[in-house]
């Protein structure tokens, strides 16, 4: 027998009150854990995905939407931009590099991105097997896509139009897997990369006669599937073609000031900065996060109060017990310690349960939402801040036990035991 | 002398001063403290146990002066050398019988008697793992006696240990206290107004309010 065991016995002697308090505290801490995990991973991810991209250019519309679609591949693209105009930008002295992208197709919810080899190079992606695309309709799968679809190098599949599952299939041309990327931990894992030409040809083959307004096909397309596609820069074509977005790297800091203004006022396109738009998004989400944090703090406060009341009430029943402990040799300090120990053990259990609950919540959220942004989060990564959650919880425990512990300290044995 | 008290005085606030008769006991001796209700019997017991501090006088147990010990030393000394049996058993409800006795060992930091043996001698052999809530009143009182004896103290103090027991249990309890005190060589002081106890212990002092 020792003090820890004795505290434990007292806690388990009141299982209902103890578990209620533990659960309440755990709930509050679970909310904080989820917020912590999401915030940390989201910000890290968002910054990782946007690393090296100074500016995104696309059709006019919402700049936030442009960023979400162009960098993170979450939202719908804003529309198409003519390639001539895009190519003009590449001659701008403020631009160091420009990566063209054609978006708008998917395979079972995974987005197919038409681009050049600079794009995987931007994320320093390396191949697990096969090679990067060289011919039209060759694709490279992100690690997650390969895992979920089970495709290997050499397999073929049909893409679908649109960016969500269930839209009509492009049945004219089959994509062929040329390579599979190693897991990168960023947006590439959930993408299917191919050449811009592949995207164009897919749509050409389907709608040769009634072409849409942005793509003015005046002449017949001669698709030569053996022809090499452009590995760097813009695809070479004599026709008037369209792109969806451009990812731009600045040549110098001056560009950050001049280039967005030049594009926004001088062209039919718009330019948006990922860091600026994401800061704006976090500001918008901040209200919700603050609200949730407030709620969690209130729940933790209530659980602290619950622990205080439970300890204080049990103390009334236990005045005799405490007096007996003194009579058999316990010192005042030991009784003080006993009550503190109970509060601290209670909150420690709450903290551990809360953290596990938080991670479980997150993994449930993720499993419900595999294709979305949340789907890329890792629920079982433990952060150093979670240690702080334990510290907070223990602080709550100590605070809640101060008054009961002091009352225990002051119990007069003589008065308690000998009054009939 | 194993235990002696001399000229101890105590005043409850707003009441007349209590002056207690001197007590001297050797190992194995027993003594009754008699007196009417309100005469200060229980106060004397609290003073002897070191639960209250006397205003004057001296209490010595095994050569140690209780007044010379500070709070924590006194708590530990009480745990080691004084076993107290209260009017009600006051067992710790969260623990089972054996654990209740183990607490005495833990807090006194003294391995006194073997708990299983002790329980056997008190007729509680089968009850070691029982919850104290399932015990009868007589059994509970015996467990509280076992707790007082667990550390093999030098002095056993009992405060009306038989008042809530029937004749049979009362006799059992007094006999137990006597034989156990004799066995471990402790002085035994029983505070009571119970006539049934007097039959077993002839020695007594009387506390009178002045």
A78 or A221: which leads in pLDDT = A78
Same structural domain, A178 and A31: no
Distance from CA of A327 to the nearest CA of B (A): 7
Q: What's the rounded Cα separation, in Å, for the pair B158 and B145?
A: 9
A-chain residues near B95 (CB < 8 A): 6, 9
Residues of A in contact with B46 (CB under 8 A): 414, 418
**Contact by Cβ (8 Å): B164, B85:** no
How close, in Å, is residue B29 to chain A by CA atoms?
Answer: 22
Three-class SS state of A58: strand
Instruction: Name the burial class of residue A275, with classes exposed (0-12), middle (13-18) and buried (19+) by CB atoms within 10 angstroms of its CB.
Output: middle
pLDDT in tens, B137-184: 889 999 999 999 999 999 999 988 888 888 888 888 899 899 999 999
Touching check for A330 and chain B: CB below 8 Å?
yes
Q: Does A329 touch chain B (CB under 8 A)?
A: yes
List the domain range (segments joined by +) for residue A366.
3-45+288-418
pLDDT band at A225 (very low <50, low <70, confident <90, very high): low
Buried b (16+ CB within 10 A) or exposed e, A299-330: bbeebbebbbebbeebbeebbbbbbbbbbbbb
Which residues in chain B are closer than 8 Å to A329, comparing Cβ atoms? 75-76, 78-80, 104, 107-109, 151
Q: Report the sign of the C-alpha dihedral through residues A339, A342, A346, A348, in that order.
A: positive
Is residue A166's pLDDT more than 70? no
- Over residues B81-125, the pLDDT tens digits come to 999 998 888 899 999 999 999 999 999 988 888 899 999 988 898
Residue A222 pLDDT? 53
Angstrom distances, CA of residue B59 to CA of A234, A313, B2, B4, B52: 103, 37, 11, 6, 12
Return left, alpha or beta for A150; rule: phi > 0 is left, psi -120 to 50 is alpha, else beta: left
Superfamily of domain B3-206: P-loop containing nucleotide triphosphate hydrolases (3.40.50.300)
- Mutation site, A322, A341, A418, A420, interface B, largest B CB count within 10 A: A418
Q: Let me know: does A99 contact A190? Beta carbons within 8 Å.
A: no
How would you class A110 by CB atoms within 10 Å of its CB: exposed for 0-12, middle for 13-18, buried for 19 or more? buried
User: Domain boundary at A272, A305, A326, which?
Assistant: A272
B-chain residue closest to A10, CA distance: B94
Report CB contact under 8 Å: B72, A333: yes
Evaluate if residue A218 carries a pLDDT over 80: no
Give the C-alpha separation, A263 to A275, whole Å. Answer: 18
- pLDDT > 50? residue A213: no
Q: Are A15 and A71 in a shared domain? A: no
pLDDT band per the 50, 70, 90 thresholds, residue A211? very low
Note whether residue A278 is domain-resident.
no
Asked which of A238, A272, A306 is the last residue of a domain, the reply is A272
Closest partner residue to B75 (CB to CB) among A9, A10, A329 is: A329
Residues A369 and A335 in one domain: yes
For A177, list phi and psi in degrees, rounded to 5. Answer: -75, 120
Cβ of A328 within 8 Å of Cβ of B147? The answer is: yes
Chain A, residues 331-360, CB within 8 A of chain B, namely: 331-334
pLDDT at A45: 81
- Pairing between β-strand B3-11 and β-strand B64-65 as defined by DSSP bridges: unpaired
Closest by Cβ to B99, choosing from A1, A324, A328: A1
Question: A37-67: b or e for each residue (b if 16 or more CB lie within 10 Å)?
Answer: bbbebbeebbeebbeebbbbbbbeeebbbbb
Cβ A327–B87 below 8 Å, yes or no?
no
**What is the distance in angstroms between the Cα of B165 and the nearest Cα belonging to chain A?**
15
**Whether B87 and A418 lie within 8 Å, measured CB to CB:** yes
Into how many domains does chain A fold?
2
The pLDDT score that the predictor gives to residue A223 is: 57
- Do both A19 and A162 map to the same domain? no
- ipTM of the complex in this document: 0.89
Q: Are residues A231 and A322 in the same domain?
A: no
**pLDDT at site A220:** 45
Searching chain B, which residue's CA lies closest to the CA of residue A314? B94
The answer to whether residues A39 and A71 belong to one domain is no
Task: Name the minimum distance, in Å, from the CA of B107 to any CA of chain A.
Answer: 5
Contacts of A414 in chain B (CB under 8 A): 46, 51-52
A344 in any annotated domain: yes
């Amino acid at each position: 027998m020792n003090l820890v065991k004795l505290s434990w016995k007292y806690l388990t002697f009141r299982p209902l009150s103890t578990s209620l308090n533990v659960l309440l505290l755990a709930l509050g801490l679970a909310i904080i854990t989820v917020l912590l995990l999401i915030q940390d991973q989201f910000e890290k991810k968002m910054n990782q995905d946007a690393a090296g991209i100074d500016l995104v250019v696309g059709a006019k519309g919402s700049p936030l939407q442009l960023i979400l679609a162009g960098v993170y591949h979450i939202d719908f693209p804003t529309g198409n931009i003519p390639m001539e105009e895009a190519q003009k930008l590449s001659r701008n002295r403020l631009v160091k590099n420009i990566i063209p992208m054609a978006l708008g197709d998917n395979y079972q919810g995974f987005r197919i991105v038409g681009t050049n080899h600079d794009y995987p190079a931007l994320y320093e992606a390396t191949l697990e097997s096969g090679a990067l695309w060289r011919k039209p309709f060759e694709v490279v799968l992100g690690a997650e896509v390969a895992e979920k679809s089970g495709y290997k190098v050499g397999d073929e599949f049909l893409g679908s139009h649109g960016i969500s599952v269930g839209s009509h299939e492009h049945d004219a041309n089959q994509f062929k897997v040329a390579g599979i990327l190693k897991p990168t931990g960023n947006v590439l894992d959930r993408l299917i990369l191919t050449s811009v030409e592949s995207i164009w040809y897919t749509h050409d083959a389907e709608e040769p006669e009634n072409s849409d307004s942005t793509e003015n096909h005046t002449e017949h397309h001669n698709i030569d599937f053996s022809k090499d596609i452009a590995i760097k820069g813009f695809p070479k074509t004599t026709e008037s073609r369209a792109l969806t977005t451009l990812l731009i790297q600045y040549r110098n800091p001056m560009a950050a000031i001049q280039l967005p203004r030049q594009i926004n006022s001088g062209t039919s396109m718009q330019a948006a900065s990922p860091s600026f738009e994401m800061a704006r998004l976090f500001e918008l989400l901040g209200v919700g996060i603050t609200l949730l944090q407030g709620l969690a703090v209130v729940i933790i406060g209530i659980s602290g109060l619950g622990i205080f009341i439970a300890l204080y009430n049990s103390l009334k029943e236990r005045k005799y017990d405490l007096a007996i402990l003194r009579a058999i040799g316990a010192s005042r300090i030991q009784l003080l310690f006993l009550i503190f120990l109970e509060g601290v053990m209670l909150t420690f259990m709450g903290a551990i349960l809360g953290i596990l609950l938080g991670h479980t919540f997150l993994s449930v959220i993720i499993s419900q939402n595999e294709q979305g942004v949340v789907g890329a989060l890792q629920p079982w990564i433990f952060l150093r801040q979670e240690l702080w959650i334990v510290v907070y919880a223990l602080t709550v425990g100590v605070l809640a036990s101060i008054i009961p512990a002091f009352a225990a300290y002051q119990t007069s044995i003589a008065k308690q035991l000998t009054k009939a | 002398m194993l235990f002696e008290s001399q000229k101890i005085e105590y005043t409850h606030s707003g009441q007349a001063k209590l002056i207690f008769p001197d007590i001297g006991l050797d190992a194995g001796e027993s003594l009754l403290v008699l007196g009417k209700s309100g005469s200060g019997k229980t106060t004397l017991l609290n003073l002897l146990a070191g639960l209250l501090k006397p205003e004057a006088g001296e209490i010595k147990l095994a050569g140690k002066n209780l007044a010379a010990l500070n709070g924590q030393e006194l708590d530990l000394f009480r745990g080691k050398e004084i076993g107290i049996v209260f009017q009600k058993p006051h067992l710790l409800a969260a623990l089972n019988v054996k654990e209740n006795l183990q607490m005495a060992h833990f807090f006194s930091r003294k391995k006194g008697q073997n708990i299983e043996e002790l329980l056997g001698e008190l007729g509680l052999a089968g009850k070691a793992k029982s919850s104290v809530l399932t015990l009868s009143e007589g059994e509970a009182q015996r467990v509280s006696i076992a707790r007082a004896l667990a550390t093999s103290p030098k002095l056993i103090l009992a405060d009306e240990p038989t008042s809530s027991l029937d004749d049979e249990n009362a006799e059992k309890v007094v006999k137990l206290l006597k034989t156990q005190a004799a066995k471990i060589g402790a002085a035994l002081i029983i505070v009571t107004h119970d006539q049934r106890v007097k039959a077993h212990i002839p020695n007594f002092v009387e506390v009178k309010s002045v």
